[in-house]
Amino acid sequence: MLRCVGIVVPNKMVIPAKTGILIKIILKKMAHEHKLEIFRGLWKFKSNTAKIWGVLAFLTFITIIEVALGIVKPESLMGMFLGMKILNWIFIILTIVKAYYITWDFMHMRDEVKALRRMVVWTAIFLILYLIFILLQEGGYIETVYSSGFVKRDF
């Protein structure tokens, strides 16, 4: 007899294939099973603990790159791209990479169902991008008003 999360299945009962898969999925979730690979399967781990240390190594690596770039500030990355220094774009992209691995592996978003993932991530990303767009656009506009001499600030 299989008892778990309110599902009671007698031993000899024939379960239709579809229901069987559903039960399997639910059982898998309840057993806290983790997907033990990152980088789309490029780096596989033997246990969840090993995965945690692997992700830590990766996050530390990225932080070290960030700090090194922040201290050295290579001249070659000072060019502008889409209104911002290339170096700043690199920082922002590395931050999002870090955020992805914290959410996916430390917060176990990787193991949640697709609908929950999208509810949380897409909502936040959409609203944040919208907010950033309007505020930075407006800030840039006010800056042009200041710098084109209509407002005196340097006195």
Partner 1 sequence: MNTTVATGTEGKTWGGGNKPLTASYGKMMMWFFIVSDALTFSGFLAAYGFSRFKFIDSWPIADEVFTHFPFLHGVEAPMYYVAFMTFVLIMSSVTMVLAVDAGHHMNKAKVTIYMFLTVIGGIIFVGSQAWEWNTFIKGEFGAVQTKGGNILQFVDAEGHRVAVADFAKVETGTRTQHESKNGLWFVDEGALPAYTMDEINNGLAAHPEVLVRTQIINEAGKKTVLSREESVKQLKENGRLFVQGANLHVNEYGSPLFADFFFFITGFHGFHVLSGVIINIIIFFNVILGTYERRKSYEMVEKVGLYWHFVDLVWVFVFTFFYLV
What does the binding site for partner 1 look like in residue numbers (CB under 8 A)? 5-6, 25-26, 29-30, 32, 48-49, 52-53, 56, 59-60, 63, 66-67, 70-71, 78, 88, 91-92, 94-95, 98-99, 102-103, 105-108, 112-113, 115-116, 119-120, 123-124, 127-128, 131-132, 135-136, 138-140, 142-143, 146-147, 152-155
- In angstroms, the Cα distances linking 4 to 17, 21, 79 are 18, 15, 59
How, if at all, do strands 7-9 and 2-4 pair? Answer: antiparallel
Q: Are 64 and 96 in contact (CB under 8 A)?
A: no
Q: With respect to partner 1, which residue has the nearer C-beta, 19 or 95?
A: 95
Q: With respect to partner 1, which residue has the nearer C-beta, 20 or 140?
A: 140
| 3 state SS of 109 | helix
Closest distance to partner 1 from the beta carbon of 76 (Å): 14
Give me 27's structure tokens: 């059982």
d(CA 83, CA 140): 10
Q: With respect to partner 1, which residue has the nearer C-beta, 15 or 100?
A: 100
Q: With respect to partner 1, which residue has the nearer C-beta, 21 or 116?
A: 116
